[in-house]
């Protein structure tokens, strides 16, 4: 009897402990969900000048951080679209939301930056929208600035946009992937790519007084980029490898807001000059230049998800002022075709 009684007590005790663990675990999960919902609400209500961060593709863990910390979105203001969408209007599809954010959020972002937003720079106008809030009657677009890749994934930013150089440049040694005939997300250079970044030129140092038109930019950059190619890959003959030296240009609009830096790069055209050829391998060593367009690839991460950062190789030259490594200069809706790598006349 005593043994049976002890066994019964032990069973009751263990059962009670297991039940308490389940209750505690359930309470912890509920508290975590409540904290996440609170952080989300605060993020969506954050005032202009606030910076937001998330690590999950669905932004379920969105929260506010200091702008000096890593973040994906800087809030610039709000746009009310209730005049366009009534209370019973369905949640607009992605294409319509993108058009709305360009029409409604671009003026907000320009005002936020006192007219200093580079329309061709690395920062793109975007917005935060939520189907749940929309169903609840919210018709407010939270406008912001972010740095998207060609696929729509987002690269981290450190610091407020107003204090950063908006020039659309990449780190030396970065290779830009290829999607069909066009530029893709950054990749390591042992994978097929469109361009390999060989350096950065500050056009403002060469033209301190006035905007140089593309002809003057090209004249200056032809020499500067050729010299950079020699420094980047000493003793290598780019033409024998099938590569051409290329560079970016800066438009008047970009110049007016202070964007003066451009990249020098190497790439190869397709034989019919219909776009960029896939190049495998770094210009510092053996390369293979494809004769056919690269396959068209579908994005592996949803737009708005944090991008995977590609670091330059350790042996890449390090200029005295390294530009931030970020992904593409074009948003998914505006990525241009590249008929020739001779120049890329970006912003």
What is the arithmetic mean of pLDDT over 13-40?
66
Identify the residue with better confidence: 52 or 34. Answer: 52
Looking at residue 2, what is its pLDDT? 40
Asked if the structure places residue 125 within a domain, the reply is: yes
pLDDT of 164 strictly over 50: yes
Query: pLDDT confidence of 136, banded at 50, 70, 90?
Result: confident
> What is the sign of the dihedral through the CA atoms of 61, 65, 70 and 73?
positive
CA 18 – CA 329 distance, rounded (Å): 55
CA distance 52 to 46: 9
Is 116 part of any domain? yes
pTM over 0.95: no
In a domain, 2, yes or no: no
- Residues 158 and 241: their CA atoms lie apart, in Å, by 38
Chain segment 94-122, per-residue pLDDT in tens = 889 889 999 999 999 999 999 999 999 99
pLDDT, residue 180, reads 95
SS3 content of the chain, % helix, strand, coil (to 5): 30, 20, 50
Is position 42 within any domain? no
CA–CA distance, 179 with 195 (Å, rounded to integer) = 12
Question: Average pLDDT for residues 278-284, to the nearest whole number?
Answer: 97
In a domain, 232, yes or no: no
Q: What is the pLDDT of residue 292?
A: 96
Q: What is the mean pLDDT of residues 204-222?
A: 96
Please check whether residue 189 lies inside any domain of the structure: no
Number of domains in the chain: 1
d(CA 42, CA 207): 45
- Using one digit for the tens of pLDDT, what is the confidence trace for 56-81? 988 999 999 999 999 999 999 999 99
> Which is it for the CA torsion 28, 73, 147, 160, positive or negative?
negative
Task: Kindly state the average pLDDT of the residues 137-153.
Answer: 92
Domain that includes residue 83, residue range: 51-158
pLDDT at position 10 is 32
**Is residue 327's pLDDT more than 70?**
no
Average pLDDT value for residue range 193-202: 97
Over the chain, what is the mean pLDDT?
Answer: 84
Residue 229: pLDDT over 50: yes
DSSP notation for 239-298: HHHT-EEEEB---HHHHHTT--EEEEEEE-B-TTSSSBPPEES-TTS--EE-SSPPPP--
* Alpha carbon distance 344, 168 (integer Å): 12
């Amino acid at each position: 009897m005593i043994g049976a009684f002890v066994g019964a007590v032990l069973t009751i005790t263990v059962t009670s402990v297991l039940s308490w663990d389940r209750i505690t675990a359930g309470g912890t999960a509920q508290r975590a969900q409540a904290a996440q919902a609170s952080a989300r609400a605060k993020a969506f209500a954050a005032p202009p000048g606030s910076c937001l961060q998330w690590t999950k593709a669905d932004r379920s863990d969105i929260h506010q951080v200091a702008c000096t910390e890593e973040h994906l979105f800087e809030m610039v203001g709000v746009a009310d679209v209730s005049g366009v969408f009534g209370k019973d209007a369905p949640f607009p599809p992605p294409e319509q939301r993108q058009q709305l954010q360009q029409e409604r959020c671009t003026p907000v972002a320009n005002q936020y930056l006192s007219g200093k937003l580079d329309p061709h720079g690395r920062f793109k106008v975007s917005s935060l929208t939520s189907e749940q809030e929309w169903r609840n009657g919210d018709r407010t677009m939270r406008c912001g600035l972010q740095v998207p890749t060609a696929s729509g994934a987002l690269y981290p930013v450190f610091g407020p946009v107003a204090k950063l150089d908006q020039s659309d440049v990449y780190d030396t040694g970065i290779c830009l992937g290829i999607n069909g005939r066009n530029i893709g997300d950054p990749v390591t250079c042992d994978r097929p790519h469109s361009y390999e970044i060989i350096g950065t030129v500050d056009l403002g140092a060469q033209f301190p007084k006035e905007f140089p038109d593309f002809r003057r930019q090209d004249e200056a950059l032809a020499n500067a980029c050729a010299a950079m190619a020699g420094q980047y890959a000493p003793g290598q003959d780019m033409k024998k490898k099938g590569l051409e030296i290329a560079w970016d240009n800066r438009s008047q609009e970009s110049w007016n807001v202070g964007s003066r830096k451009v990249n020098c790069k190497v790439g190869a055209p397709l034989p019919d000059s219909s776009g960029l050829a896939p190049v495998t391998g770094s210009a510092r060593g053996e390369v293979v230049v494809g004769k056919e367009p690269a396959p068209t690839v579908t994005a592996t991460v949803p737009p708005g998800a944090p991008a995977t950062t590609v670091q330059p190789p350790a042996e890449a030259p390090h200029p005295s002022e390294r530009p931030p490594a970020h992904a593409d200069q074009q948003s998914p809706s505006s990525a241009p075709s590249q008929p020739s790598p001779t120049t890329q006349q970006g912003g």
